[in-house]
Amino acid sequence: MTAFSRFTPLISALPATVPFVGPEAIERNRGLAVKARIGANENGFGPAPSVLQAICEAAASTWKYNDPENFALKQALAGHLKCRPETIAVGEGIDALLGQIVRMVIEPGMAVVTSFGAYPTFNFHVTGHGGRLVTVPYVDDREDLNGLLETVRQENPPLVYFANPDNPMGSWWDADSIVSFAKAVPETTLLVLDEAYCETAPAGSTPPIAALIDRPNVIRTRTFSKAYGLAGARIGYAISTPGTAAAFDKIRNHFGMARISTEAALAALADQAYLEKVVGKIAASRDRIAGIARANGLVPLASATNFVAVDCGRDGAYSKTIVGGLMEHGVFIRMPGVAPLNRCIRISAGPESDMALLEEALPQVLKSL
């Protein structure tokens, strides 16, 4: 079947792709049922009961559009973060915000600096807007701050992306190093500091809001998808100076946020006791994953996220076989996409029932290899 002939040359040249193949597609394509969904960095412990109650109560009002200014959520976030509401932009998850950031800054042919093997969806947005990716390899399974900064100085790009803690390796930098990096980035380069996993990170790894709030060339992106357990609700937000945050209003979908999602986010922010409890569960599950890995002769990497990268000791082909073999047992996991990171598999934290399935299936898969 032929396609419409008047797409732009850029769109015509791009492949139709999905940055992450979902477990639903794997079930459809392979005829297998996912029994342990521990591959998408979701929070298998789910949102707080108070959040589920808020969702139920908001359902009757779903005939209404959401407030296009996101006033209540910005106020609540500002109170939680101890900043001004006008420094916050709200969007349909970090992925949507990243697309808007790229659209605001990048024109075809412009360089964008990021780490080689880092978040594929960001790369997807860059290529979709005609940007030119300039990548810096990881060093010791961690994003290379010095290498990123050196490349920024060489390329003078409009945009540089850095995640702390990191996806897909789970590694992290301390707050002082991040602040020094941000202040060293030229004012003409916009730094996207992706903090999707900041709630699960150790103390001292996330810079205080006040440390970077006065820098117009820094945008910090955060989400309710991970620790808050609301991946399906699609709620993200960005923090910057008022002028930079206001730029989102020029291009965003003003009615893109779902009313039910907004109520869920408000309830989640109000229930910090549950957040503390679930972060503890995530930490315990990370330890459980690490123990299962070691029992099978694999090496878990230290993680500040809701997943653990596990070094399988060989190459990407071997890791891919493990991923496929576990899926035969209904255990859905993923792996990084590029060498040498792809010697690892990546396993999300989850409830004990999922861990038990992993513990049972992994030795069988390794034995079959």
Question: Is residue 192 domain-shared with residue 282, that is, in the same domain?
Answer: no
Question: Is residue 156 domain-shared with residue 302, that is, in the same domain?
Answer: no
Residue 239 sits at φ, ψ, to 5 deg, of: -125, 130
For residue 196, being part of any structural domain is answered with yes
For residue 5, being part of any structural domain is answered with no
Question: Is residue 90 domain-shared with residue 169, that is, in the same domain?
Answer: yes
Look at residues 139, 200, 143, 145 and name the one whose alpha carbon lies nearest to residue 178: 145
For residue 11, being part of any structural domain is answered with no
For residue 2, being part of any structural domain is answered with no
The last residue of a domain, from among 222, 237, 270: 270
In angstroms, rounded to a whole number, what is the distance separating the alpha carbons of residues 343 and 80? 39
Question: Is residue 62 domain-shared with residue 39, that is, in the same domain?
Answer: no
Q: State the DSSP string of 249-270.
A: GGTS-TT-S-HHHHHHHHHHHH
For residue 83, being part of any structural domain is answered with yes
Question: Is residue 233 domain-shared with residue 334, that is, in the same domain?
Answer: no
> How are beta strands 88-91 and 236-239 bridged, if at all?
antiparallel
The last residue of a domain, from among 270, 297, 327: 270
Question: Is residue 99 domain-shared with residue 210, that is, in the same domain?
Answer: yes
Q: Is 201 helix (H, G, I), strand (E, B) or coil?
A: coil
The last residue of a domain, from among 238, 270, 302: 270
Instruction: Please state whether 116 falls in left (phi above 0), alpha (psi between -120 and 50) or beta.
Output: beta
In angstroms, rounded to a whole number, what is the distance separating the alpha carbons of residues 118 and 325? 25
Residue 144 sits at φ, ψ, to 5 deg, of: -95, 95
CATH number, domain with residue 317: 3.90.1150.10
Question: Is residue 299 domain-shared with residue 249, that is, in the same domain?
Answer: no
- pLDDT in 10s for each residue of the chain, 369 residues: 577 888 999 999 999 888 888 999 999 999 999 999 999 999 999 999 999 999 999 999 999 999 999 999 999 999 999 999 999 999 999 999 999 999 999 999 999 999 999 999 999 999 999 999 999 999 999 999 999 999 999 999 999 999 999 999 999 999 999 999 999 999 999 999 999 999 999 999 999 999 999 999 999 999 999 999 999 999 999 999 999 999 999 999 999 999 999 999 999 999 999 999 999 999 999 999 999 999 999 999 999 999 999 999 999 999 999 999 999 999 999 999 999 999 999 999 999 999 999 999 999 999 999
Q: Which residue bears the tokens 């598999």? A: 345
Question: Is residue 107 domain-shared with residue 180, that is, in the same domain?
Answer: yes
In angstroms, rounded to a whole number, what is the distance separating the alpha carbons of residues 58 and 35? 30
In angstroms, rounded to a whole number, what is the distance separating the alpha carbons of residues 263 and 57? 9
In angstroms, rounded to a whole number, what is the distance separating the alpha carbons of residues 112 and 131? 7
Look at residues 126, 124, 166 and name the one whose alpha carbon lies nearest to residue 145: 166
Question: Is residue 292 domain-shared with residue 173, that is, in the same domain?
Answer: no
Task: Determine the length of the chain.
Answer: 369
Q: What domain count does the chain have? A: 2
Question: Is residue 26 domain-shared with residue 167, that is, in the same domain?
Answer: no
Range of the domain at 27: 20-46+273-368
- At 167, list the tokens: 């996806």
For residue 4, being part of any structural domain is answered with no
For residue 247, being part of any structural domain is answered with yes
For residue 6, being part of any structural domain is answered with no
- At 8, list the tokens: 């732009």
CATH number, domain with residue 169: 3.40.640.10
Q: How far is CA 289 from CA 35, 41, 332, in A?
A: 17, 14, 14
User: Can you give the pLDDT at residue 1?
Assistant: 59
In angstroms, rounded to a whole number, what is the distance separating the alpha carbons of residues 279 and 285? 10
Question: Is residue 180 domain-shared with residue 311, that is, in the same domain?
Answer: no
Question: Is residue 205 domain-shared with residue 103, that is, in the same domain?
Answer: yes
